[in-house]
């Protein structure tokens, strides 16, 4: 079992990243919501990981915080929700958003995730009602802030640039890919990053 992978971020795709560690490149699937929070390619990154093994499938799923990972592991215990479905849920809902949705019985919010229908969302609420508790939101808050501290500023700049591009009519995946293609993006302002990203759109 690979508990985490740390090293140099080599590339960012629509739903995955490649992290190099001691000459090995790890292809890791991540929630779409995590992409804007990633550092620039060439920078250090650490992802808490879950290795999924089934028949001829071997895949790594990564998360910036341990809380994200633990919620992912809970989600895949629900019948009808596999790793891709769990990743989809965490792409549209943060762990705390999910806790609130479960507590409120809000199946509509959960079914907004790709591949998750109303029945599956209701099953999730029923099965995880006693495992995803609101009181956990406060207990995890401090740890989450510490884990994300190293990527917060970079993530905010990249997020603003991505939002600006989507406002111009580009899809989120196109915007995220263009922003991640900009070299030394961590040293740029939002305006500089946006101008450079637009060149990759041409």
125-138 pLDDT, tens per residue?
Answer: 999 988 887 666 55
| Structure-model confidence comparison of residues 33 and 149, the more confident one | 33
Please, which residues bridge with residue 197 across strands? none
Q: How far is CA 73 from CA 14, 48, 52, 67, in A?
A: 22, 12, 10, 10
109: pLDDT strictly greater than 50: yes
Tell me the pLDDT tens digit for each residue of 8-63.
999 999 899 999 999 999 999 999 988 888 888 888 999 999 999 988 889 999 99
Q: DSSP code of 197?
A: H
185 DSSP 8-state letter: G
Average pLDDT, the chain: 84
Q: Is the pTM of this model over 0.75?
A: no
User: What is the per-residue pLDDT for 106?
Assistant: 93
Least confident of 69-78, 130-139, 172-181: 130-139
């Amino acid at each position: 079992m690979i508990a985490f992978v740390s090293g140099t971020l080599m590339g960012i795709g629509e739903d995955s990243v490649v992290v190099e560690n001691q000459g090995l490149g790890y292809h890791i699937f991540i929630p779409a919501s995590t992409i804007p929070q990633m550092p620039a390619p060439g920078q250090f990154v650490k992802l808490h990981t879950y290795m999924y093994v089934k028949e001829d499938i071997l895949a790594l799923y990564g998360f910036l915080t341990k809380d994200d990972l633990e919620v992912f592991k809970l989600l895949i215990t629900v019948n009808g929700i596999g790793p891709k479905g769990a990743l989809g849920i965490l792409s549209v809902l943060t762990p705390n958003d999910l806790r609130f949705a479960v507590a409120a019985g809000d199946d509509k919010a959960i079914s907004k995730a790709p591949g998750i229908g109303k029945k599956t969302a209701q099953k999730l609420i029923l099965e995880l009602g006693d495992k995803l508790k609101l009181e956990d939101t406060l207990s995890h808050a401090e740890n989450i802030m510490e884990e994300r501290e190293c990527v917060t500023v970079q993530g905010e700049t990249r997020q603003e640039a991505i939002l600006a591009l989507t406002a111009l009519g580009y899809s989120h995946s196109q915007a995220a890919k263009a922003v991640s293609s900009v070299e030394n993006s961590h040293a740029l302002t939002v305006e500089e990053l946006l101008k450079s990203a637009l060149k990759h759109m041409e």
